[in-house]
Amino acid sequence: MDAPSRRRFLAVSGSAAATALMAAAPRLVRAQMIRTPLNNMPEAIKRITGGAPVTRGRVTLDIPPLVENGFLVPMSVSVDSPMTSADHVKAIHVFTERNPLPETVSFHLGPRAGRAFVATRVRMADTQNVTAIAHLSDGSFWSDSVHLIVTLAACLEELPVSASP
Amino acid sequence: MSGNVRVDVPKTARKGEVIEIKTLAAHGMETGFRRTYLGAPIPRDIITTFTCAYNGVEVFRAELHPSISANPFLHFTTVATESGTLEFRWTGDQGHSASASAQITVT
């Protein structure tokens, strides 16, 4: 049969493109290898919750999804809570997936806070997920997670010799 | 008392109003994970705890870790219950201690 030229062209060019992709693949893999490793975030969360279930919701973690400077990332956490003595947020914990330590900050508040809102500035060592967990007065845990992309990482640079202690 | 710190607390508030408090402490927050070019580890030197007491009663506390940026900034809220003093205290590695206080008039 006569080869339908368009079909042949697509088949040949398609396989050429696939071959080119395969050749590029090792470079992509190497780019992944230099990421900072995962820390033990699940264990750190378990130490806080004692193994109790953590439900997604009620918590809003506000952090920029694209970070230019990992040394100074503004972050705020708010929780949907009436903040009365019967129903309030006892603590808010923030964890990172790829910083050297998963624990980032813990806030302890209570009904006298009036509003379940805290803000600070954190360091981010790599592109990663950040999780905020709220511990409510009824013993339940609620969370929110944000994936953020970091272009300049914190924590990993060296100091000039003259600045060493 | 030592350390260079700043606190932003409203001078007056209505009773029951939720007031916003912002604090800033001058501190390098050395993580303990860095090394010099010669490879010597730089020991950790961070602020580990911050507390805010309203007329002697603790209303807010934060535990800080090396992931907190240099010159820790904290922003939180409290209910203006009565006139008096808010006392802020930062403590950390290598005997670091700093404090500040602010007066508030509640009407």
Residue B24, pLDDT above cutoff 90 = yes
Measured from the Cβ of residue A8, the count of other Cβ atoms closer than 10 Å reads 10
Residue A106 lies in a domain: yes
List the end-to-end C-alpha distance of chain B, in Å, as a whole number: 30
- A81 & A121 share domain: yes
* Assigned CATH for B5-106: 2.60.40.10
pLDDT, average across residues A39-59 = 91
Task: Identify all chain B residues contacting A73, using CB atoms and an 8 Å cutoff.
Answer: 69
Residue B101: pLDDT band with limits 50, 70, 90? very high
Does the beta carbon of B82 lie under 8 angstroms from any beta carbon of chain A?
no
pLDDT for position A155: 57
Q: Verify that A51 and A22 share a domain, yes or no.
A: no
Answer yes or no: do A1 and A79 share one domain: no
Name the minimum distance, in Å, from the CA of A114 to any CA of chain B.
5
Give domain status of residue A158, yes or no: no
As a whole number, the mean pLDDT across chain A is 83
Q: Report domain extents, chain B.
A: 5-106
Q: Is the pLDDT of residue B104 over 80?
A: yes
Rounded to two decimals, the ipTM of the complex is 0.92
The terminus-to-terminus CA distance of chain A in angstroms comes to: 81
Domain with A94, as residue range(s), is 41-152
Residue-wise pLDDT for B54-83, tens only, equals 999 999 999 999 999 999 999 999 999 999
A82-125 pLDDT, tens per residue?
999 999 999 999 999 989 899 999 999 999 999 999 999 999 98
Q: Identify whether residues A53 and A84 lie together within a single domain.
A: yes
Tell me whether residue A163 is in a domain.
no
Query: What's the total number of domains in chain A?
Result: 2
d(CA B47, CA B70): 10
Partner residue opposite B69 with nearest CB, options A106, A121, A157: A121
Which site among A112, A117, A118, A131 would you substitute to test the B interface, given the most B Cβ atoms closer than 10 Å to its Cβ? A112
Residues A14 and A87 in one domain: no
| Contact status of B76 with chain A (Cβ, < 8 Å) | yes
The better pLDDT of the pair A57, A26 is held by A57
* Pair (A16, A60) in one structural domain: no
Query: Could you tell me if A144 and A70 lie in one domain?
Result: yes
Give a yes or no: residue A160 inside a domain: no
Q: How many CB atoms lie within 10 A of CB B83?
A: 14
CB contact under 8 A, A105 and B67: yes
> At residue A5, does pLDDT exceed 90?
no
Q: Which class for A151: exposed (0-12), middle (13-18), buried (19 or more C-beta within 10 A)?
A: exposed
